[in-house]
């Protein structure tokens, strides 16, 4: 599935990352806990180099907790990297941990007349603005359920004096791995208008049946798991009244129901990949 979506502000944001990131002491990269690898932007890795990094696994309250712990361990095994979980809440414990972790990763910036300089980066709709609001303990960044809400970088100063840049969410121009593209689409990191709903839903249905069939059966009140992704969409269509004239299943509506249930956590805590 090709993604035909790379707005003009992303080109500008990519250029600004290259200009501003080298002056930062710590990079705070926000990843989607449901797909940490798929939501890692290779552009960020290229520009960051060996600069210290805090990997924040956002939306961890929607991800499989056992798999998230494995991801945290895997990231923590890397050089100059510390990983933590973050839930979609301004009161998340991450707001206390992150400033202290930044100081730990940049000890040379501790002292009189010094302050840690950090930048938050990540793909669209991954939770960067939610994290900014948590760190500031008040709403300073606009939060939305659609990607590309933040279109320009902004500088905020935390209570401890730490300066923090919030950058727009950017993807990379060519997402060649189809599985990565489908994960990004299923989680909502690209606009719904830029994807084929049925293709994305078929991917999600197949994955869920393979890895979380019990949760699927519980959500849609099925006695047993359907034999195929197509059959699951048909069952969802029947139960949600997604029918056209003559009783034909409206696949688009059925796909919409599955995607919405997954994104909202209604099916359960699900991870789309493991380390």
Query: Which CATH number do you get for residue 75?
Result: 3.40.50.300
**Domain containing residue 260: CATH number:** 1.10.1580.10
Q: Which residues pair with 26 in a beta bridge?
A: 118
d(CA 59, CA 94): 12
Q: How far is CA 19 from CA 47, 123, 198, in A?
A: 9, 18, 40
Looking at the fold, whether 252 and 123 belong to one and the same domain comes out as: no
Same domain for 224 and 113?
Answer: no
Give the C-alpha distances (Å, rounded to integers) separating 38 from 34, 59, 123, 158: 9, 14, 10, 30
The whole-number pLDDT of residue 40 equals: 92
Instruction: Please say whether the beta carbons of 34 and 187 come within 8 A.
Output: yes
Same domain, 53 and 114: yes
Domain boundary (166, 184, 209) is at 166
The answer on 144 and 219 residing in a single domain is no
Q: Do 206 and 95 lie in a common domain? A: no
Residue 51 shares a structural domain with residue 100: yes
- The pTM of this model reads 0.86
Do 51 and 135 belong to one domain? yes
Where does residue 193 rank: exposed (0-12), middle (13-18), buried (19+ CB within 10 A)? exposed
Q: Which of 119, 104, 115 is nearest to 159 (CA)?
A: 115
Domain count, the chain: 2
Q: Are 109 and 25 part of one and the same domain?
A: yes
Residue 190: inside a domain, yes or no? no
Q: Give pLDDT, residue 148.
A: 42
226 and 91 housed in the same domain: no
204 within some domain? yes
- Is residue 201 one of the residues assigned to a domain? yes
Both 139 and 204 in a single domain? no
* Residue 172: per-residue pLDDT: 61
Check if the beta carbon of residue 184 is closer than 8 Å to that of residue 39: yes
Task: Report the alpha-carbon distance of residue 103 to residue 220 in Å, rounded.
Answer: 47
Q: Quick one: 160 and 200 in the same domain?
A: no
Q: Is 206 helix (H, G, I), strand (E, B) or coil?
A: helix
**What are the residue ranges in the chain where pLDDT is below 50?**
2, 6, 143-151
Task: Give the structural domain span for 67.
Answer: 8-166
Alpha-carbon gap, residue 195 to 205, rounded angstroms: 16
pLDDT the model gives residue 147:
43
Shared-domain flag, residues 89 and 215: no
């Amino acid at each position: 599935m090709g993604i035909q979506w790379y707005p003009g502000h992303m080109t500008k944001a990519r250029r600004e990352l290259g200009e501003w990131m080298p002056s930062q002491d710590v990079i705070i990269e926000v990843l989607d806990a449901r797909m940490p690898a798929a939501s890692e932007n290779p552009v960020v890795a290229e520009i960051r180099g060996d600069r210290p990094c805090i990997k924040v696994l956002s939306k961890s309250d929607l991800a499989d907790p056992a798999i998230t712990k494995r991801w945290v361990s895997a990231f923590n095994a890397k050089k100059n990297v510390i990983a933590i979980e973050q839930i979609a809440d301004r009161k998340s414990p991450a707001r206390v941990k992150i400033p202290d972790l930044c100081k730990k990763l940049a000890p040379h910036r501790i002292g009189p007349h010094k302050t840690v300089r950090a930048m938050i980066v990540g793909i669209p709709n991954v939770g960067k603005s939610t994290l900014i609001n948590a760190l500031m303990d008040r709403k300073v960044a606009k939060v939305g359920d659609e990607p590309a809400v933040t279109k320009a970088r902004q500088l905020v100063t935390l209570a401890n004096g730490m300066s923090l840049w919030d950058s727009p969410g950017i993807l990379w121009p060519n997402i060649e791995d189809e599985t990565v593209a489908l994960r990004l689409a299923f989680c909502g990191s690209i606009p719904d208008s830029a994807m084929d709903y049925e293709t994305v839903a078929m991917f999600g249905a197949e994955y869920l049946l393979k890895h979380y069939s019990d949760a699927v059966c519980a959500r849609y009140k099925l006695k047993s798991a359907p034999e195929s992704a197509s059959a699951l969409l048909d069952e969802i269509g029947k139960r949600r009244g997604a029918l056209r004239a003559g009783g034909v299943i409206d696949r688009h509506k059925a796909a919409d129901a599955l995607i919405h249930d997954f994104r909202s956590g209604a099916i359960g805590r699900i991870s789309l990949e493991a380390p």
